[in-house]
């Protein structure tokens, strides 16, 4: 069987258990040889947002994934100039691993907006998609949001199901138990002094505290947002 390589791109601001736990479920199902977590560099759809420095976000991913043998933090977008696009990153991995079966992991909330992504038609033909379950965007509602041309490719699977390498580009909907947290909610909780310890890997929690990330200016000191 060919090697299976997965790419999971995202802001990871911060990297939390809603990223990690579903990826573990995907790993237990697809048995990827490697999963590369790619913190976004300068995505155009987040241009109006204030993203934490990508070096901080890469560090948090690296620390959180260290215990997992097949999980890797990837700096492919860290030093990019200009806007960064997922389609370009996936093409990079397609060229880097020409003989592997390529998978792209994303949350169902992101998948529901894929028609707004740069060159999405090209993106979905670079490999297979694994859509992770977000409770607020699943089932019939998700199907109404994605381009109709993708509906025949979509296949619902459950964790630990045996998944052979498909001949055609397939979009797997991994029906794991959703983990109802988001980076937005974690940043808001941290800025208000509410506990986040149970929402992020312990390495990430320690990193956030050390560098004073996501605190209000009055509480964050010189490190906040650095």
> pLDDT tier at 225 (50, 70, 90 boundaries)?
very low
What percent of the chain is modeled with pLDDT above 70?
93
pLDDT tens across 23-60, in order? Answer: 999 999 999 999 999 999 887 766 546 889 999 999 99
Task: Work out the angle between the directed axes of helices 54-65 and 202-211 (0-180°, nearest 10).
Answer: 150
Residue 220 — very low, low, confident or very high, per pLDDT cuts 50/70/90? Answer: very low
pLDDT at 219 over 90: no
pTM over 0.75: yes
pLDDT at 179: 87
Query: What pLDDT is attached to residue 211?
Result: 96
Query: Side by side, which strands form the sheet with 101-107?
Result: 71-73, 34-39, 4-10, 101-107, 128-132, 171-174, 154-157
pLDDT of residue 79: 84
Rg (CA), the chain: 17
Q: At 166, is the pLDDT very low, low, confident or very high (cuts 50, 70, 90)?
A: confident
Residues pairing with 100 in the sheet: none
- Per residue in 178-189, pLDDT (tens digit) is 988 999 999 999
For the ranges 83-87, 118-122, 149-153, which has the lowest average pLDDT? 83-87
Q: How many Å apart are CA 172 and CA 194, to the nearest integer? A: 36
Q: Which residue has the tokens 């993708």?
A: 150
Domains and CATH numbers, the chain: 4-223 (3.40.50.620)
- Look at residue 82 and tell me whether its pLDDT is greater than 70: yes
Query: 24 with 105: CB under 8 angstroms?
Result: no
Q: What is the mean pLDDT of the chain?
A: 92
pLDDT band at 80 (very low <50, low <70, confident <90, very high): confident
């Amino acid at each position: 069987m060919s090697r299976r390589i997965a790419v999971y791109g995202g802001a990871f601001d911060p990297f939390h258990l809603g990223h990690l736990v579903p990826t573990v479920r995907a790993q237990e199902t697809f048995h990827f040889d490697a999963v590369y977590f790619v913190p976004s560099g300068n995505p155009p759809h987040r241009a109006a947002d204030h993203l934490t420095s990508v070096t901080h976000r890469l560090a948090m991913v690296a620390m959180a994934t260290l215990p997992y043998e097949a999980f890797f933090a990837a700096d492919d977008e860290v030093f990019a100039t200009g806007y960064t696009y997922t389609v370009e990153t996936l093409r990079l991995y397609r060229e880097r691993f020409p003989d592997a079966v390529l998978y792209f992991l994303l949350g169902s909330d992101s998948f529901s907006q894929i028609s707004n992504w740069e060159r999405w038609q090209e993106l979905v033909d670079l490999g297979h998609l694994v859509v992770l379950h977000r409770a607020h965007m699943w089932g019939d509602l998700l199907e109404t949001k994605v381009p109709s041309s993708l509906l025949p490719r979509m296949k619902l699977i459950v964790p630990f199901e045996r998944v052979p390498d498909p001949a055609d580009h397939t979009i797997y909907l991994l029906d794991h138990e959703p983990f109802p947290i988001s980076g937005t909610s974690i940043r808001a909780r941290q800025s208000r002094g509410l506990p986040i310890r149970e929402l992020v890997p312990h390495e990430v929690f320690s990193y956030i505290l050390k560098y004073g990330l996501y605190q209000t200016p009055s509480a964050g000191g010189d490190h906040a947002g650095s």
